[in-house]
């Protein structure tokens, strides 16, 4: 078994390997944490605050849909970011791309907190919001794929499942940080948020950017990419051309798994917030606490599911997550429809705290292993981000639109979306192409 297969460097001592892996863990977890800190923060503010701050609020329901649409707009840029930075990652290295995408995301998050209101600058407020959101989406479109591929290629022997789950841990730390922030800001009601308090967590995120950049600059390039660079003829082939020529099956697996997972995940944790606020009159204090609880559960669940990926396989864990999500689709909406705090905590705790991590933790290793080293960054970034743009942007917006269009605000259509998404995860996880590119089952 070669050093490339194990993801380790032969000349390293055990102490050096541990030090390298600690740096990689910090870099990948921190980047994913910032991405999801922003995305949950934005989703919450889009559902509760932005319709009143950045849009004409004479028709509250229309303003809410328009504000939520800006959340979807961020996904339009993600495929372009995934394709562009995935290509750059295969061409020039994983580390440089990780630093660049982190800068794009972090600076844009802070800038959102500085945009003047609709009352101050009129139509320019939503225009600025959309422009910044698109630029931010470019960076976010490559963040997860870059972090996952980096973790996977640095992983030690037999640990690609658990170490590939590091970005998933960062996701839930970001959810915890943002939901806890919102919980504290709304502890005495929503008035402080609407009076300008919503800007604080956006602007203060610049501190996370500074720390994250320092961490990411400290990591080495992955051993597998360094090995690839020694093979000059292969390195000169365009990664995108090689991807489309040789790895279409792997690309299809990643694309459809991403559609299924993101439809489930974003309905669990973004549609639910808008639905509960708009149609059940649930206070943001309750919804933010529910996500805080779910994030605490997930922080424990992610390492456990990563460990199961090493013990069983990432495919097995991913399939089980899809099956359980299918079974939970109707109960999830039934619990939300009660409008009771305890039932909401259970619904979001199970959906976001257990089922989403059960499908997300395996993705670092499962999606990475669908491709060889030469096209891994391009394949992961392209397939996942196109799927994410379709499902992550449209699923919560489509679900909310179905509820709005229903005379009784029925959630039956949302159950169908969840069921179809879960089936996609199961079916395409079973089409695993990874045996061709990895010596390990995980």
Provide mean pLDDT across the span 395-409: 92
Provide mean pLDDT across the span 305-321: 97
Average pLDDT, rounded, for the chain: 89
- The full 3-state SS of the chain, as one line of letters, equals CCHHHHCCCCCCCHHHHHHHHHHHHHHHHHHHHHHHHHHHHHHHHHHHCHHHHCCCCCCHHHHHHHHHHHHHHHHHCHHHHHHHHHHHHHHHCHHHHHHHHHHHHHHHHHHHCCCCCHHHHCCHHHHHHHHHHHHHHHHHHHHHHHHHHHHHHHCCCCCHHHHCCHHHHHHHHHHHHHHHHHHHHCCCCCHHHHHHHCHHHHHHHHHHHHHHHHHHHCCCCCHHHHHHHCCHHHHCCCHHHHHHHHCHHHHHHHHHHHHHHHHHHHHHHHHHHHHHHHHCCCCHHHHHHHHHHHHHHHHHHHHHHHHHHHHCCHHHHHHHHHHHHHHHHHHHHHHHHCCCHHHHHHHHHHHHHHHHHHHHCCHHHHHHCCCCHHHHHHHHHHHHHHHHHHHHHHHHHHHHHHHHHCCCCCCHHHHHHHHHHHHHHHHHHCCCCHHHCCCCCC
Provide mean pLDDT across the span 348-352: 97
What local confidence, expressed as pLDDT, does residue 10 receive? 53
What local confidence, expressed as pLDDT, does residue 59 receive? 76
Comparing 82 with 67, the larger pLDDT belongs to: 82
What local confidence, expressed as pLDDT, does residue 198 receive? 93
What local confidence, expressed as pLDDT, does residue 60 receive? 77
Helix ranges (DSSP H) in 60-93: 60-76, 78-92
Other beta carbons within 10 Å of 405: 10
The model's confidence at residue 83, banded by pLDDT at 50, 70 and 90, is very high
What local confidence, expressed as pLDDT, does residue 197 receive? 93
Provide mean pLDDT across the span 424-435: 92
Question: Lowest mean pLDDT: which of 45-49, 116-120, 201-205, 422-426?
Answer: 45-49
For domain 11-436, the CATH superfamily is MFS general substrate transporter like domains (1.20.1250.20)
What local confidence, expressed as pLDDT, does residue 438 receive? 52
Backbone angles phi, psi at 221, to 5 degrees: -65, 155
User: 218 and 20 in contact (C-beta within 8 Å)?
Assistant: no
d(CA 404, CA 17): 54
For 289, the token pair is 């606490």
d(CA 356, CA 350): 8
Residue 327 has pLDDT above 70, yes or no: yes
Q: Tens digit of pLDDT for each residue in 149-200?
A: 999 999 987 899 999 999 999 988 998 998 889 888 888 878 888 899 999 9
Question: Lowest mean pLDDT: which of 172-186, 194-208, 341-355, 426-440?
Answer: 426-440
The model's confidence at residue 343, banded by pLDDT at 50, 70 and 90, is very high
Q: Tens digit of pLDDT for each residue in 106-158?
A: 899 999 999 999 999 998 999 999 999 989 888 888 888 999 999 999 998 78
Q: Which of 131, 89, 86 is nearest to 108 (CA)?
A: 131
What local confidence, expressed as pLDDT, does residue 61 receive? 73
What local confidence, expressed as pLDDT, does residue 439 receive? 45
- Total-model pTM: 0.88
Question: Lowest mean pLDDT: which of 143-157, 307-321, 351-365?
Answer: 143-157
How large a percentage of the chain has pLDDT more than 70? 95
Residue 235 has pLDDT above 80, yes or no: no
What local confidence, expressed as pLDDT, does residue 436 receive? 57
The model's confidence at residue 332, banded by pLDDT at 50, 70 and 90, is very high
Residue 392 has pLDDT above 90, yes or no: no
Q: Which of 51, 195, 196, 54 is nearest to 123 (CA)?
A: 54
Q: Tens digit of pLDDT for each residue in 265-294?
A: 999 988 998 899 889 999 888 988 998 899
Provide mean pLDDT across the span 240-252: 94
Q: Tens digit of pLDDT for each residue in 8-34?
A: 445 788 899 999 999 999 999 988 898
Does the CA dihedral 30-33-35-38 come out positive or negative? negative
Residue 229 CA neighbour count, 13 Å, CB half: 12
CA-based R_g, the chain, Å: 21
Provide mean pLDDT across the span 362-391: 94
List the chain domain ranges: 11-436
Provide mean pLDDT across the span 76-97: 92
Provide mean pLDDT across the span 231-252: 83
């Amino acid at each position: 078994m070669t050093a490339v297969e194990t993801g380790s460097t032969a000349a390293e001592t055990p102490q050096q390997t541990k030090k390298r892996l600690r740096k990689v863990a910090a870099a990948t977890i921190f980047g994913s944490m910032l991405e999801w800190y922003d995305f949950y923060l934005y989703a919450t503010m889009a559902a509760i605050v932005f319709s009143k701050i950045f849009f004409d609020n004479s028709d509250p329901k229309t303003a809410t849909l328009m504000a939520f649409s800006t959340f979807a707009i961020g996904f339009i840029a993600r495929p372009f970011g995934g394709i562009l930075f995935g290509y750059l990652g295969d061409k020039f290295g994983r580390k440089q791309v990780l630093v660049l995408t982190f800068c794009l995301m972090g600076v844009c998050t802070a800038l959102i907190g500085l945009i003047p209101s609709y009352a101050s600058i009129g139509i320019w407020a939503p225009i600025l919001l959309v422009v910044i959101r698109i630029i931010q989406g470019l960076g976010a479109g490559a963040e997860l794929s870059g972090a996952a591929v980096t973790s996977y290629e640095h992983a030690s022997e037999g640990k690609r499942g658990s170490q590939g789950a590091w970005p998933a841990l960062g996701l839930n730390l970001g959810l915890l940080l943002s939901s806890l922030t919102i919980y504290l800001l709304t502890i005495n009601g929503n008035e402080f948020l609407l009076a300008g308090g919503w800007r604080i967590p956006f602007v203060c995120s610049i501190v996370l950017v500074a720390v994250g950049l320092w961490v990411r600059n400290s990591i080495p390039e992955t051993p597998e990419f360094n090995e690839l660079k020694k093979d000059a003829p292969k390195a000169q082939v365009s990664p995108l051309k090689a991807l489309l020529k040789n790895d279409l099956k792997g690309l299809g697996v990643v694309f459809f798994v991403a559609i299924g997972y993101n439809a489930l995940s974003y309905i669990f944790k973004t549609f639910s917030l808008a639905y509960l606020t708009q149609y059940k009159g649930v206070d943001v204090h309750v919804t933010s606490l529910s996500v805080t609880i779910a994030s605490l559960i997930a922080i424990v669940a992610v390492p456990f599911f990563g460990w199961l990926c090493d013990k069983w396989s990432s495919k097995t864990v991913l399939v089980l997550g899809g099956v359980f999500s299918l079974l939970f689709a109707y109960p999830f909406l039934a619990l939300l429809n009660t409008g009771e705090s305890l039932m909401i905590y259970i619904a979001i705790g199970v959906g976001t705290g257990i089922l989403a991590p059960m499908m997300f933790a395996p993705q670092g290793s499962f999606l990475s292993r669908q491709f060889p080293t030469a096209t891994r960054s391009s394949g992961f970034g392209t397939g996942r981000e196109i799927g994410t743009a379709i499902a992550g942007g449209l699923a919560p917006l489509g679900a909310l639109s179905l509820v709005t269009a229903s005379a009784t605000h029925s959630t039956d259509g949302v159950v169908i979306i969840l069921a179809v998404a879960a089936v996609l995860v199961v079916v395409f996880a079973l089409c695993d192409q990874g045996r061709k590119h990895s010596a390990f089952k995980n």
